[in-house]
Structure 1
């Protein structure tokens, strides 16, 4: 999910449907860096170069001679904006970073969707899959057209309306998948050895980030909380849910919690910190590191709303802010993680407007867990208790989503078992991590 906090953007990937807050930080260049350029297209090329030169997380620029690249692209002639945009994308490709990307004015405008929680489209988050050089589904939005059609996390999109996606960039896929409400797009999906066509009708999508229910057990009530994304309403909705559960007394008392972050692609950094603090009284939550070192650290502040046993469910669609929360709770031994390993996206982007109305998302930092772990494609958050779902089980749950978070959901059923074991040993101050 790509959203901003004081100019910083956390993103699992680029999305077909996303809410983005673009900060007004603007472009700040020292006087000695600016050439006297005569053409507007060339000015935009240099704007992009300057932003990368000043803010990009890797000071080696992927082992590239970045100054030589500037000379190369500023010596070229550009007859129109499109030629300059092509050059910019070529320049950025040398960084080998799929999250640092250029958006032309139309793409940038599309990205600036209001964060009201209401969107129009098919409802999937996608990224570039380096192994196949195609597009991979990070996760579908709950109850979206894509979700209801049966699209699941880790699906590979091989065709869009029959057009092969081999080598296709995320921005180009966005333009093909996006469309008016009521129109249809056909996504061809590679899932294991199968290739399946999914006709999907675009529609308006209402996003409700927090969903709850009570699971009654012989040991007491267990509160199930499903968080589907870290949008502007997530922290307040979570706070209200926890306060309501904690106020329950007598036979309705809640003895423990299952927090479901599966297929949650992330969102606002401050929402992830706020939500982590609802479960942690003390300890580090996350630190942010740019190319100079640590620049920010977020810690718990004695505002936890509960100390009752907690299990967190994650999977391959849990990314970005989801990984911040799950790792913070794991590293501080506050929760047991159950499911499968996370997506692996620990990079921070800044989204910046350019002078001609186009925009640039640039990777400026990475975040690290309390124990100092980087979260990358090769270093994902691993659950304490692994519970795999077969493709058939995932499809069954998605097509019958009323079973998600019930005993008919194998990962929830195992989470419930582990949680109730913790309820029996819970002392009020210490959580014994039991891994089986």
Structure 2
């Protein structure tokens, strides 16, 4: 898949991974980099200009954005590092953890297309707006973080003994990532309890779809599809999974989006089109109210009953898909309230090899629901007990099996849906 200069992502704030290919992102040539080396003030103005043109909030969080430009251009910067710090200080005035600056090293390390091989511990994190805590959105499946038992909503208090209080999100990511085989200690707070996790960084290969056909006592054949990320190759893998289910004549599907932190906008739209025959799937609204609608196109692959599993780690593109299926009564959503990230970022390379992620729009479900901060509330709320959660934390191979309490609930609901049909 070709990576455009400014790719729309619905994913997470930052990823504790590294070694991601950035081909096609639009980094400038060496002459441009030399110019920015000699004139570090230029990077400050370039970032200001991008925010001025694209940022979702036309009030700029109530700040005098033109005045801010003058303030920061009146300063002198001895080198680009001082300019970088000024840019970060300037962006903080927007009070938006999703709009962030990355120096060249951080930008190269940022994951844009998850179809490649990564290195790190495999967690996706954000900085909470209300508390400024560094919070885990979700671990990536089959990574050191997931296998160690780190879960959504965990608060990262320390990295290798260094407190994250007041720390910039990118700085936390830089502390966590590193070479495969090296260790990092995360001090995690969960429900008031503090625990250390010693993780060994590793190479991470992400396969977004895990699917199987299962023979059940009451339902006969069903298709179980676990989608862990909306990456570039998720569309084809999902298509293959559904086509296999139709070939096997399954009676229904369980679509598992738990701990799926999101990914690419087009991926969520294309997958929704496999289940929804007509109508609007999602609309994006920018700061002047313009609406960019994405619609179904008659390419539906199945009309079988669907149950969607979600939890607090289901974010962004997961909320687009589950929200659309819910609005059309195309599926029954089961689990717990989702993360609530209804914002779209554009990621672009800057003149000196650094990068900028800018919040450019919010998205709405087909019924016009703005799910940012609210999330998707399931049709059937099923909160697992601590004991039920521990079963899956201790052995993640039990996810999507009868040892998984939410999966059992999904089977029960799917049985009812099949019986109605």
Pairwise same-fold verdict (TM > 0.5): yes
Q: 1:373, 1:100 → 2: CA distance?
A: 23
Q: 1:403 aligned to 398, 408, 412, which one?
A: 398
Q: Quick check: 2:268–2:317 contact (8 Å CA) kept in 1?
A: yes
- 1:31 aligns with none
Unaligned runs of at least 5 residues, structure 2: 29-35
Q: 1:353 aligned to 349, 354, 360, which one?
A: 349
Question: Aligned to 1:62, what secondary structure does the other structure show?
Answer: helix
Q: 2:381 aligned to 386, 393, 396, which one?
A: 386
- 1:190 aligns with 189
Q: Give the C-alpha shift of residue 206 in structure 1.
A: 1.6
- 2:236 aligns with 236
**2:59 equivalent to 1:92:** no
Question: Aligned to 1:53, what secondary structure does the other structure show?
Answer: helix
Q: 2:266 aligned to 259, 270, 279, which one?
A: 270
Q: Give the C-alpha shift of residue 354 in structure 1.
A: 1.3
Q: Give the C-alpha shift of residue 376 in structure 1.
A: 1.2
Q: Count residues in correspondence.
A: 410
Q: Give the C-alpha shift of residue 25 in structure 1.
A: 6.8
- 2:318 aligns with 322
Q: 1:20, 1:165 → 2: CA distance?
A: 28
Q: Give the C-alpha shift of residue 113 in structure 1.
A: 6.5
Question: Aligned to 2:341, what secondary structure does the other structure show?
Answer: coil
TM-score w.r.t. structure 1 length? 0.90
Q: Give the C-alpha shift of residue 80 in structure 1.
A: 1.0
Q: 1:20, 1:364 → 2: CA distance?
A: 24
Q: 1:392, 1:111 → 2: CA distance?
A: 36
Distance 1:209-1:7 versus aligned 2 partners, 3 A rule: closer
Deviations 1:385-433 (A, max 9, x none): 000123443232022112111121111111110110010111xxxxxxx
- 1:175 aligns with 174
- 1:123 aligns with 122
Distance 1:123-1:7 versus aligned 2 partners, 3 A rule: closer
Which residues of 2 match residues 151-166 of structure 1 at below 5 A?
A: 151-166=150-165
Which residues of 2 match residues 29-44 of structure 1 at below 5 A?
A: 40-44=39-43
TM-score w.r.t. structure 2 length? 0.93
Deviations 1:172-192 (A, max 9, x none): 011100111111101111111
- 2:33 aligns with none
- 2:32 aligns with none
Q: Quick check: 1:128–1:135 contact (8 Å CA) kept in 2?
A: yes
- 1:11 aligns with 11
- 1:67 aligns with 66
- 1:226 aligns with 226
